[in-house]
Chain A
Amino acid sequence: MAVTAAGMRLLPAGLLVLAISTAAWAEPVTYVLDPQHSFVHFEVLHFGTSTLRGRFGQIDGYVELDRAAPGGWVSLRVPTAAVDTGMPAFDARLRQSDLLDSEAHPVASFVASRFSFDGPKVSALSGELTLRGVRQTLELRALRFGCHTHPQLQREVCGGDFEGELDRAAFGASFGMPFVANRVRLRVQVEGIRR
């Protein structure tokens, strides 16, 4: 009888652990991108001398993470006309047809379903970037990835910093080469709020 009593005390504890594990890990969790902490920054070398920088935002999108599988899915949209370099004249030049071609292609999109994990953390992802209507594979490496509880919303927020490179000529955005380099480095800040 004593053994049974001890077993009964163990049982609820075991169920509780199972219930927590199930809620936390078994289903894909959706995160909606937080526009205040999600930006795509780009860097490109100018005359082999200094680095031009610009920012795209606001970004709309969401991320699904299934840490049990593990796997993930991300879809985001970047309005190209909202490019911001700090120089309105340069922004206007970037929107022209030989660079971003914002009138014909107002949105760049990135969809990725190939996620790599290092334990519970996303370490890299590979997907398809569509820019100026041209679709190319883009790989992003995570420099950091983490989760925290949003102090006001009291919800889980996950995100990180991701980096990747692309050749702009491959998308047909070749104006100004070779004075302005073909190679563009992307530095992506992203945070998603759990839905």
Chain B
Amino acid sequence: MKNLLAATTLGLALAAPAYSANYVIDPTHTFVTYEVGHFGTSTNRGRFDKKEGTVQFDRAARTGKVEVTFDLKSVSTGVEMLNKHLQSADFFDSAKFPEAKFVGDKFVFNGDKVSEVAGMLTLRGKALPVTLKATNFNCYMNPMLKREVCGGDFETTLKRSQWGVNYGLEVGVPDDVRLLIQVEAVKQ
């Protein structure tokens, strides 16, 4: 009887995420890190620290929608001079375009795990399609929050020139920018 009860409870717990639910991005476990090659020698990295967003997610229907906004002034490279240069019209032009936004509404599933999210990335006022591939995806019950958390790691490589970020292309600063995205969202 005890076992049956436990099994039923477990069943319910597992079944619960099957319904469409709203999630709010956990900013402490959601970051975008970019990687750009430096003179064919090493890889420069930077990270965006301020962000907010929401996710609607329905594992039964295999649909979802994610909206995340990043404050471009919050870029952190570990080099103050570079953080400042990235704000200029050479790169983000953040005085005119303070935010980058990703809206993803095409979720691809592999079993009950999200394997791909496609949508539009807006940077410098220009929205272009981007597909993020999942390298990890999972949902778990967070013991501190006592709520379900879903998230994973996603990545994509984009050409910055498509958004008009052309600085240094002529002297060999690469056009390819790899994005590594950590995301976790808490069920509401």
On A, residues with C-beta under 8 Å from B are: 36-37, 39, 41, 45-53, 55, 57-58, 84, 86-87, 89-90, 144-148, 151, 157-161, 179, 189-191
Contacts and interface: CB of A to CB of B under 8 A. Distances in A.
A53 B41 contact: no
B88 interface: no
Interface residues of B, number: 36
25 contacts: A36-B79, A37-B42, A37-B44, A41-B45, A45-B136, A46-B184, A47-B138, A47-B149, A48-B138, A49-B140, A50-B182, A51-B180, A53-B31, A53-B47, A84-B76, A144-B43, A145-B41, A146-B40, A146-B42, A148-B40, A157-B39, A159-B41, A179-B143, A189-B43, A190-B42
Of A36, A148, A157, most buried by chain B (CB within 10 Å of CB) is A36
A49 B29 CA distance: 10
B184 A39 contact: no
B19 to A, nearest CB: 20
Interface string B68-88: 000000001011011000000
Nearest to A179: B143
A39 B76 contact: no
B83 to A, nearest CB: 12
Given A50-B151, A144-B42, A146-B41, 14 more contacts: A37-B44, A49-B136, A49-B151, A51-B153, A53-B31, A55-B47, A84-B78, A86-B49, A144-B43, A145-B41, A146-B42, A148-B39, A189-B45, A191-B41
